[in-house]
Structure 1
Amino acid sequence: MQDEIIDRAIEYVSTLFKGNSDGHDVQHTLRVYKNVQLLLKSYPEADSFISLLSALLHDVDDHKLFKTENNFNARTFLKENGLSRELIDEICEVINSVSFSKNKGKTPRTLEGQIVQDADRLDAIGAIGIARTFAYGGRSGRSLDDSIQHFYDKLLLLKDEMNTGAAIKIAVMRHEYMENFLKEYHDESTK
């Protein structure tokens, strides 16, 4: 039953994010899902169903994409798939702990929340993070310099905001990649 709900969630986000190419697309969601799968290997005590379903639904009510309140899209999907109110509330708590702007400096209460928050933040850094920054910047009318500023405002802070040891190891390498990119960018910009 849980596997079927996960499969339906993948179909749901694939439909919901169809045509989105600003870095908050279905590919982003699936990478976060895969990051959660990877992190769960280090934390077998975490509830994998809550973690995986939260990863898949973490952006379905993102304020940058949708004008919903109280996790309307996530709650609707979860209710339609027969989850209990308690489980829906747990998943929504995890979802609500993911956003950087709303949770900067905050550690999610549950291990599941920590894993999903880390998985999302891992997708914001490294080579993928660089690509997503410019995709979102282009869609939002940001200049290259404005997009570069986003590295200093958010992306370079994420390594030190990770919750789990497993995520920290990955974040260190991706952080170094971004630093090298920024050095090259600045070198090329001043020549």
Structure 2
Amino acid sequence: MSSKGLQDVVNILEKICRVLYDNSLDHGWPHIERVLGYSLRIMREGGIKINKDLLKIAVYLHDIGRMIGDPHAYYSALIAEELLGELGLPRNKIEIIIDAIKAHSYSYNKAGEYGESQLSIVLSDADKLDALGIIGFIRVFLYGQRHGRSLGESINHFHDKILGLEKYIRLKYSKRLAKCLSERTRKLLCMLSEELGQECREEACSTI
């Protein structure tokens, strides 16, 4: 497929995904835009060479399976495989993309499985970075409210998952950024705990 043909696929997918994703801050189109921004930043700062059209396709489709449910990365990969085949993308490129989509999953990484391509590593790091910092902090509560979590359950989610994301980030530049963003998350969580009359957990206040 020519570069023009690949660009056409990207343009079609962007139009499709803008319709399919909602505008929610947590997993809607704004999340897709931020993950793409982080991905491009990681590439630039880390001197990583990846086909940007393939990157955009992987980013656009990495959460599309959330419309079905969990495991969302698995469903996203299935949808991507079918859709990209219909759009005429070569099989070798489809396999690179679906590998990256599967490998971005926290559950996948927690089980000790990772993608090996540069594309999969960049996407995984970028997606996790968007779960940290001020934006990530807000996302947890938006998602929790939508899914009926109590305030306490959302707070516990930081200790169960969010504050542990840093160890699954793989690239040098991503690690530096994750350290900064994780510190912001801890500070916000500690301030929230104080407002609620609770003591800060040690892992939440270790950098304050």
1:52, 1:40 → 2: CA distance?
13
The equivalent residue for 2:53 is 49
Alpha carbons 2:140, 2:154 under 8 Å: kept: yes
Q: Identity of paired residues, percent?
A: 29
Post-superposition offset of 1:144: 0.9
Structure exhibiting the larger radius of gyration computed from Cα positions: 2
The equivalent residue for 1:94 is 100
Alpha carbons 2:144, 2:150 under 8 Å: kept: yes
Post-superposition offset of 1:76: 2.8
The equivalent position to 2:39 in structure 1, one of 30, 36, 39, is: 36
Question: Deviation digits for residues 86-131 of structure 1, max 9, x if unmatched?
Answer: 2111110110001102222433211111100001001111111111
Post-superposition offset of 1:70: 7.5
Q: Which has the higher contact order (CA 8 A, sep 6+)?
A: 1
- Alignment of 1:178 with 2:181, yes or no, is no
The equivalent residue for 2:202 is none
What runs of 5+ residues in structure 1 fail to find an aligned partner? none
Question: Deviation digits for residues 48-82 of structure 1, max 9, x if unmatched?
Answer: 3322221111011233497x858332123212321
After TM superposition, the structure 1 = structure 2 runs for residues 9-28 of structure 1, keeping only pairs within 5 Å, are 9-18=13-22, 21=24, 23-28=26-31
Question: Deviation digits for residues 121-173 of structure 1, max 9, x if unmatched?
Answer: 01111111111101110011001110011101111011121111111121111
Letter in 1 for 2:32: T
1:170, 1:14 → 2: CA distance?
28
Partner of 1:61, secondary structure, is helix
Letter in 2 for 1:46: I
Alpha carbons 2:96, 2:117 under 8 Å: kept: no
Letter in 1 for 2:195: E
Post-superposition offset of 1:9: 2.0
Alpha carbons 2:104, 2:120 under 8 Å: kept: yes
Alpha carbons 1:32, 1:55 under 8 Å: kept: yes
Alpha carbons 2:10, 2:57 under 8 Å: kept: yes
Count of aligned pairs between the two proteins: 190
1:69, 1:182 → 2: CA distance?
32
The equivalent residue for 2:77 is 71
Alpha carbons 1:40, 1:48 under 8 Å: kept: no
Partner of 1:187, secondary structure, is helix
The equivalent residue for 1:128 is 135
Alpha carbons 1:107, 1:163 under 8 Å: kept: no
2:40, 2:13 → 1: CA distance?
15
2:167, 2:78 → 1: CA distance?
31
Letter in 2 for 1:85: R
What runs of 5+ residues in structure 2 fail to find an aligned partner? 199-208
Deviates more, 1:158-167 or 1:4-13: 4-13
Post-superposition offset of 1:8: 2.0
